[in-house]
């Protein structure tokens, strides 16, 4: 994980419609950048739906929500349509940004060790600095915790 107070690595990735989206596009706004393992899995779907359910609150605070996984643009498009996701989903199949943010890590599941995305969230401030880093977040409570944090900071 990147440290609070450091510059957030800039990036450009395609969204679910194939449009190039850069972190720099959101200068002057708070950005909630969440990394998740895989579209259409139970935990990732619950997390995405929790962000969708609280999206109006993020909009009211002028905060941008971006989800990143290594899934394809086509997978993101289906995932967003199926679940009515109103925020950006970016595709990072080469895990360039995933690695730059330190969330590509060793994981253990049923005694098997593999590399993968550790569900993590960053809040990036209006100047592109990491304001908050949250490793190993819970899919059901992540969106609400971030929204509460942002409301307290306003």
Residues that are catalytic:
44
- In the block, tokens 């990735």 appear at 13
| Element (DSSP H or E) covering residue 55 | helix 55-60
Q: How far apart are CA 60 and CA 149, in angstroms?
A: 14
| Element (DSSP H or E) covering residue 100 | helix 96-100
Residue 65 near residue 147 (C-beta atoms within 8 A): no
Helix-helix angle 73-83:42-53, to 10 degrees: 60
């Amino acid at each position: 994980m990147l440290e609070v107070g450091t510059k957030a690595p800039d990036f450009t990735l395609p969204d679910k419609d194939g449009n190039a989206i850069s972190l720099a596009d959101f200068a002057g706004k708070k950005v909630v950048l969440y990394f998740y393992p895989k579209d259409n899995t139970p935990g990732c779907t619950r997390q995405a739906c929790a962000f969708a359910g609280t999206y109006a609150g993020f909009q009211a605070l002028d905060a941008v929500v971006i989800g990143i996984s290594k899934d394809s643009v086509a997978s993101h498009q289906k995932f967003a349509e199926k679940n009515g996701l109103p925020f950006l989903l970016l595709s990072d199949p080469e895990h360039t940004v995933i690695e730059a943010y330190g969330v590509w890590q060793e994981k253990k599941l049923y005694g098997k060790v593999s590399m993968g995305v550790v569900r993590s969230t960053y809040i990036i401030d209006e100047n592109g600095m990491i304001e908050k880093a949250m490793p190993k977040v819970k899919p059901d409570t992540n969106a609400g915790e971030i929204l509460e944090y942002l409301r307290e900071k306003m």
